[in-house]
A and B are shown apart, each in its own frame.
Chain A
């Protein structure tokens, strides 16, 4: 960092700029510099991912009533159109189209998942799910214990990146049964890891045997306030989540 190219001295402002710790004049000067320096723009972007985490660490519940006021104000606020040359920013990316399709079929997909899981829970005939249950002899008693609990509650969730999960949980039995379908396949070096996350800390539950698995996994040691989370980790598993959560369900 000691080479003295033009702009190098200016470049040391990157940290102060990313934290808004500069005067308006310095800000304008630095932004002119940024416009011609792609590498600097990338550095600023990465530093802002870090400052965003500093911000997130201060999260506190907003005042009651703020949500209603914000939503009401938005309803009366005209939105700015995208700049003409930038239409491709939205249209060129696959995600929005995929998402809008996802939204239109979301209800149907969720309903299908619920029906499939209900077949297990209530013993309705459903070949594949029942087969998976019987194949997993080691945990079948635990599964039965959760499914038959008086407080058994079923939930479904969508996995970011693809796939649905169905969870049947019982706080009375301190356990839940987890099944997944249509998870996106991962490279051989990585696997899906299931977590219980809560006041008692982050506990790895298990690595899922494969992305195509749909059979039940039992997570015991469930405590009040826990969330169930799914991340993609190195195939051997990790002690703590190291990648963004692809699923986060409050239990």
Chain B
């Protein structure tokens, strides 16, 4: 007999944002199966960005677990009118990662400074999920000016404040601030983000 398979939620990729938007309200009602599916859709992206910012594997795992639990606990707070579910979770993940880094920043600041040259945008290529998505992000980062790209890379992937980015690059803070906004607007348009 021919085997019959049905693709389950685990077969979906992180790009399945429509699925996710439908799953979050179920999670808010305590649906464990829906949360299981949300994990499959998001855990790789959450762990990816947390690890990129935090670096330390054990701490990254802790933060990732905290973020996913926060999704479970606060699913009722998600408002689809204010953005996609993916953006909601990634914002949460990035902020928790940055909080963790800054809480231990005094000890590690010098190492992180010396590690700066290791954060070229090409590093994005090490990700394993969704070649299509990764390629688009790489192409769009490549379309920025050097200063825009360095500002975004240091801030978002490095977890630095704009003031720190300014002193790392030797550029006035006001300039970095506007470059960051210009860069994200350009990225948003390049990536075809719809609102």
A residues neighboring B (CB under 8 Å): 12-16, 18-23, 41-42, 45-63, 66-67, 69-71, 73-75, 77-83, 86, 89-90, 93, 95-96, 99-100, 110, 114, 121, 152-157, 160-161, 197, 199, 202, 227, 240-242, 244-246, 248-250
Contact = CB atoms under 8 A, between A and B. Distances in A.
Given A45-B87, A70-B39, A96-B25, A22 B161 contact: yes
Given A15-B178, A49-B194, 10 more contacts: A16-B181, A49-B86, A54-B157, A55-B93, A59-B47, A66-B47, A73-B69, A86-B77, A89-B81, A249-B7
A16 B180 contact: yes
A244 to B, nearest CB: 6
Interface of B: 2-7, 11-19, 21-22, 25-26, 28, 30, 32, 35-36, 39, 43-49, 51-52, 57, 61, 64-65, 68-69, 72-77, 79-84, 86-87, 89-91, 93-95, 98, 124, 126-134, 136-138, 152, 155-157, 159-163, 165, 174, 176-185, 187-188, 191-195
17 contacts: A16-B176, A45-B195, A48-B87, A51-B91, A53-B191, A57-B137, A61-B47, A62-B46, A66-B64, A71-B36, A74-B69, A86-B77, A96-B25, A96-B26, A154-B5, A155-B7, A202-B132
A241 B132 contact: yes
A153 B18 contact: no
Given A12-B178, A79-B76, A86-B79, A19 B51 contact: no
Nearest to B10: A250
User: Which of A49, A51, A93 counts the most chain B CB atoms within 10 A?
Assistant: A49
A58 B191 contact: no
A12 B179 CA distance: 9
B157 A41 contact: no
A41 B14 CA distance: 25
Contacts of B195: 42, 45-46, 49
Nearest to A73: B69
B contacts with A: majority SS: helix
> Which 9 residue pairs are nearest across A and B when measured between Cβ atoms?
A15-B181, A15-B180, A58-B48, A59-B129, A21-B155, A82-B76, A55-B49, A52-B90, A50-B188
A55 B177 contact: no
B15 A244 contact: yes
A89 B32 contact: no
Nearest to A160: B18
A110 B8 CA distance: 12
Contact of B82 (A18, A41, A83, A250): A41
Nearest to B84: A49
A58 B30 contact: no
A99 B165 contact: no
